[in-house]
């Protein structure tokens, strides 16, 4: 693997600045990050470090609950409000991955486990903050594409009361033989953006220029990657990024992500403004719900779901 490479850094305070020059410059940087990496760090985002720390602690406390206390959430259905387990898709995965997970549908309907007792309050505030951040980033991304500031949010209803947000926490315990195991195999995410933080233990790798790059986040930063629905919407200009999680034999790694998308029954297709007349539409349209169902019906493997929507050239 290549030495660690610096990923793009977006200063969120400049994106929201009243200085048009600073904001324009940051939008250009954001567009370049989406175009060249599909991945970037966000600093000066305004989310309190205490809230981030509380979210990590509450997540650790959930994973520390006794098995019988978590058993009620061991469902396998995609739209169960809360699910926890040890694999991406227990129905089709051939091998179990070296991780435990917790998945919660937090918007449009907020859900939270009853235990730990402080989890629900922290989760609700954390998800509201990341939703606000995602909406602001999407405004900047719209402008970077030469579209109106609110194009993505209005076309897909991302800021509506029915928009979809999924909270996903992964816990990767120390693995005796990390070279023989995988936390998560290479995959891309559904949705427009995923906003991620972790507990200070490295393990996230991103595919860049055909090589895996180990990500070393700046303190108190968020990691953001573009999802499959960003690739569909932009007709392939801003591609979703392949990433994976590797494990180690020394320390437990916690990662916490929120996936941001449109209402479940929204049809996502390439924006006509981004479809060149000579090239045509690259992807079929699909509702967000149907895409999630398609993804769940397959084992986690690269961008196989997105490839099924691609027109043959």
- Residues 125-143 have pLDDT tens digits of 999 999 999 999 999 999 9
CATH superfamily, domain at 9-307: B-lactam Antibiotic, Isopenicillin N Synthase; Chain (2.60.120.330)
pTM over 0.85: yes
Measured CA to CA in angstroms, residue 204 lies from 34, 107, 207, 213, 270 at distances of 18, 26, 10, 8, 29
pLDDT at 92 exceeding the cut of 60? no
What are the residue boundaries of the structural domains of the chain, listed by start?
A: 9-307
Residue 27 CB contacts under 8 Å (≥ 6 apart), including other chains: 15, 140, 143, 144
Q: What percent of the chain has pLDDT over 90?
A: 81
What pLDDT does residue 313 have?
47
The sign of the CA dihedral 39, 43, 45, 50 is: positive
| pLDDT tier at 300, thresholds 50, 70, 90 | low
> What's the pLDDT tens digit per position in 209-249?
999 999 999 999 999 999 999 999 999 999 999 999 999 99
| pLDDT tier at 4, thresholds 50, 70, 90 | low
Q: Whose structure tokens read 């859900």?
A: 111
pLDDT greater at residue 179 or residue 248: 248
Q: What percent of the chain has pLDDT over 70?
A: 93
Token pair of 72 as six digits: 């009620």
Instruction: Report the distance separating Cα 133 and Cα 138, nearest Å.
Output: 9
Tell me if residue 59 falls in helix, strand or coil: helix
| pLDDT tier at 1, thresholds 50, 70, 90 | very low
What pLDDT does residue 148 have?
98
Report the b/e string of 160-173 with b at 16+ CB within 10 A.
eeebbbbbbbbbbe
Virtual torsion, Cα 124, 195, 262, 14, nearest 10 deg: 100
Mean per-residue pLDDT of the chain: 92
Average pLDDT (84-107) is 75
């Amino acid at each position: 693997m290549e030495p660690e490479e610096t990923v793009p850094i977006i200063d969120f305070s400049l994106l929201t600045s009243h200085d048009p020059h600073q904001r324009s410059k940051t939008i250009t940087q954001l567009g370049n990050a989406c175009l060249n990496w599909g991945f970037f760090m966000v600093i000066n985002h305004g989310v309190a470090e205490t809230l981030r720390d509380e979210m990590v602690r509450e997540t650790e406390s959930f994973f520390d609950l006794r098995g019988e206390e978590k058993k009620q959430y061991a469902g396998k259905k995609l739209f169960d409000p809360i699910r926890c387990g040890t694999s991406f898709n227990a129905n089709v995965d051939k091998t179990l991955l070296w991780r435990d997970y917790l998945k919660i549908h937090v918007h449009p309907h907020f859900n939270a486990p009853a235990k730990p007792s402080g989890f629900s309050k922290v989760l609700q505030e954390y998800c509201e903050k990341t939703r606000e951040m995602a909406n602001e980033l999407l405004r900047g991304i719209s402008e970077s594409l030469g579209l109106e500031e609110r194009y993505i949010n209005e076309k897909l209803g991302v800021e509506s009361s029915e928009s979809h947000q999924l909270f996903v926490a992964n816990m990767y315990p120390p693995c005796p033989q990390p070279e023989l195991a995988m936390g998560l195999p290479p995959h891309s995410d559904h949705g427009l953006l995923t906003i991620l933080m972790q507990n200070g233990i490295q393990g996230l790798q991103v595919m860049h220029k055909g090589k895996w790059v180990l990500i070393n986040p700046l303190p108190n930063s968020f990691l953001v990657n573009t999802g499959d629905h960003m690739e569909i919407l932009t007709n392939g200009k801003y591609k979703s990024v392949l990433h994976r999680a590797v494990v180690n034999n020394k320390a437990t790694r916690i990662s916490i992500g929120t996936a941001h998308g449109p209402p479940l029954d929204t049809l996502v297709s390439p924006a006509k403004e981004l479809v060149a007349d000579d090239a045509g539409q690259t992807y079929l349209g699909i509702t967000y719900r149907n895409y999630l169902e398609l993804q769940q019906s397959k084992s986690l493997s690269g961008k196989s779901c997105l490839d099924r929507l691609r027109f043959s050239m």
